[in-house]
Amino acid sequence: MIQVDHLSKYFGTIPAVQDISFRVEKGEIVGFLGPNAAGKTTTIRMLNGFFPPTSGSARIDGLDVFDRSLEIRRRLGYLPENIPLYKEMRTDAYLGFVADVKGVPRKELPKEVDRVTERCGLHEVRKQFVGKLSKGFQQRVGIAQAILNDPDILILDEPTIGLDPKQIIEIRELMKSFAGYKTVILSSHILPEVSMICQRVVIMNEGRIVAEDTPEGLAGKDSRKILLQVKGPRADVLARIEALPGIAGASVRDTSADHTFQYDLEMEPGRDVRDAIAESVVGGGWSLLEMKTIRPSLEDIFVRLVTEEE
Amino acid sequence: MRTFYAILRRELYVYFCSPIAYVVTTIFLVLSGYLFYSAFAYFSMISMQAMRMPGIDGINVTEMVLNPMFANMSVIMLLMMPLLTMRLFAEEKKAGTLELLLSYPVRETELLLGKFAACLVVFFVMLALTWLYPIFLWLFAKPDSGAIFSGYLGLFLMGAAFIALGLLVSSLTENQIVAAVISFGAILMFWLIGWSETFVGPSLGKVLSHLSLLDHFEGFARGVIDSRDVIYYIDFCILFLFMTMRSLESKKWRG
């Protein structure tokens, strides 16, 4: 549905986005993750035709987003980062204006405005001025204008920034409800959010894509750490485990009571040596109290990916 | 066409739901009203004296009241119009709403003409309210109704030209004060450019005089509708709207 090939954008000589390629399928929710100034907003602006790429191409439904801008914009709902709304208008008038400009058929216009008002929970504030609404409600008005005229594709730039936890949960629920029937691109620098909502994550740093996978896939690739708890003499256990093939490193974490110790093990990539560890512990005559694979959080992966190149 | 109306309605809403239109119109009416009163009072004083002193002739209400009234109104417009036009694009650029607006299926022409038309409507309302002055004049004297019509036509055309220029300037900056100052300066320059006619030589002088916003207005104020003057103002609008269009489109090719 969305197809980006070798897209680059330079501001003067400063590269903002360099040679990125990705695909987004219909009905997918994809998260753009990256630190500030990673090129997320620039990519998004190129996708909605705000400015053209320096090189490369972006296509939506096979149409070039720049050459066929008007057609693309009909299929697209967009929420910019800092929710720029017309603050001097009342919520219902504002949504009516957007519906008008988006070309909602005249007869269906009041119905359509009612639909998004209901969907985003704006009923109680529909007669209030947008500028007087709380940040959470403004954000919802922002999402409401994006989903007006029922576009197939939603592009939301940092939709939960600056909200309180309760509002964040509400907005996330709203976005989750789009899964399956809308294609959503979501940018964020909040990692748990992305892992919760998105089916796929694209991690960007310094204008490049550094990783692209499902949240589970990203976490799975990295699960090379094992936590082990063994009752037995510390030095002997450590020596025996370290001698096993496939173990890259081992260290004692802390001492518990009764000669019980916790060990952090690191496996060599691509090898699963858990049964060998269990055998050798039991074979040594010690008790294996606990063994578990540590799944790194998205934070760990993100920090590793983003700092790796430096 | 529908987008054009939607944008026109929204712009009018902003003008009339905020103090902008009211403040500018009020100040315009106060100043032009005062200047009309002065001219009218002076005229009645002179005509009183003329009655007592036979021999003074050619006292004419059109020349002594209407003509200066139109000239004065055009000067006040020069001061006021940049304040109406300054926000049109600069405000939206600064707030970031232009980015969102352009993410809708909106053509630049519809956007531009919607804003131009909205400002023109505000200006027309402002001008229409000054109809009181000629009505007062009719109560007490016999002004030339043709001259009144041509004067208003001239003011309207000149105002449209001011708006077109103000739109261009507003599309170039995100700062409303900068937009107001530059459009004021540019309009004043176009106004006064004819002054150098006398000393730059006949050929260049003719060109400069033809460029002047003021020189083309003089005919209208006297009651002469010259097609050259009408075409000049219309050309002026088209040129500046065209340049605004290019300025809006420039984001597509500017790095």
Q: Between the ranges A43-47, A262-266, A300-304, B192-196, where is the mean pLDDT highest?
A: A43-47
Cα distance between residue B252 and residue A98, in whole Å: 23
| Model pLDDT for residues A2-14, shown as the tens digit of each residue | 999 999 998 888 8
- Residue A45 token pair: 């602006």
pLDDT greater than 90 at residue A135: no
- ipTM of this predicted structure: 0.86
- A167 CB-contact burial (10 Å; exposed 0-12 / middle 13-18 / buried 19+): middle
pLDDT greater than 50 at residue A310: no
Q: Provide, rounded to the nearest whole percent, the portion of chain A with pLDDT above 70.
A: 93
- Cβ neighbours of A15 in B, within 8 Å: none
Interface test with A, best of B20, B104, B111 (most A CBs within 10 A): B104
Mean pLDDT of A195-204: 85
Region at A50 (left for phi over 0; alpha for psi -120 to 50; beta for the rest): alpha
Closest-CA distance, A53 to chain B, in angstroms, reads 9
| Model pLDDT for residues A254-298, shown as the tens digit of each residue | 666 677 888 888 877 767 778 888 888 888 888 888 888 776 666
Closest-CA distance, B119 to chain A, in angstroms, reads 18
Region at A254 (left for phi over 0; alpha for psi -120 to 50; beta for the rest): beta
Of A41, A26, A21, A38, nearest in space to A205 by CA? A38
Is residue A8 within 8 A of residue A17, CB to CB? The reply is yes
Considering only CB atoms, B97 lies closest to which of A50, A54, A86, namely A86
Pairing mode of beta strands A153-157, A76-79? parallel
pLDDT in the model for residue A308: 63
pTM metric for this prediction = 0.83
Of B225, B233, B220, nearest in space to B67 by CA? B220
- Cβ neighbours of A48 in B, within 8 Å: 103
pLDDT in the model for residue A301: 73
Q: List Cα–Cα distances, A34 to A46, A194, A217, A306, B238, in angstroms.
A: 17, 11, 17, 8, 46
Under-50 pLDDT residues of chain B: none
Q: List strands edge to edge, sheet with A225-231.
A: A247-255, A260-267, A225-231, A287-294
| Model pLDDT for residues A221-243, shown as the tens digit of each residue | 656 678 888 888 888 888 888 88
Is residue A237 within 8 A of residue A230, CB to CB? The reply is yes
pLDDT in the model for residue A113: 94
Angle between helices B87-95 and B145-172 (to 10 degrees): 20
pLDDT in the model for residue B90: 94
Which domains are delineated in chain A? 2-220 (3.40.50.300), 224-294 (3.30.70.1340)
pLDDT greater than 90 at residue A96: yes
Please indicate whether, in this complex, the C-beta atoms of B10 and A80 are within 8 angstroms of each other: no
Closest-CA distance, A50 to chain B, in angstroms, reads 7
Please indicate whether, in this complex, the C-beta atoms of B105 and A74 are within 8 angstroms of each other: yes
User: Domain boundaries in chain B?
Assistant: 2-252
Mean pLDDT of A126-140: 90
Of A76, A83, A31, nearest in space to A58 by CA? A76
Query: Where is pLDDT greater, at A265 or A145?
Result: A145
Of A102, A11, A25, A3, nearest in space to B103 by CA? A102
pLDDT in the model for residue B8: 95
DSSP state of A102: T
Chain A: which residues have CB within 8 Å of chain B?
Answer: 10-12, 45, 48-52, 54, 66, 70-71, 73-74, 76, 78, 80, 82, 84-89, 93, 97-98, 100-103, 145
**Comparing A36-45, A93-102, A185-194, B175-184, which segment has the lowest mean pLDDT?**
A185-194
Mean pLDDT of A190-213: 83
Please indicate whether, in this complex, the C-beta atoms of A103 and B2 are within 8 angstroms of each other: yes
- Residue A162 token pair: 């600056």
Considering only CB atoms, B6 lies closest to which of A52, A88, A97, namely A97
Nearest residue on chain B to A46, judged by CA atoms?
A: B252
Q: Provide, rounded to the nearest whole percent, the portion of chain A with pLDDT above 90.
A: 23
Considering only CB atoms, B6 lies closest to which of A10, A66, A101, namely A101
- Cβ neighbours of B254 in A, within 8 Å: 51
pLDDT greater than 50 at residue A151: yes
Angle between helices B145-172 and B227-249 (to 10 degrees): 20
pLDDT in the model for residue B113: 96
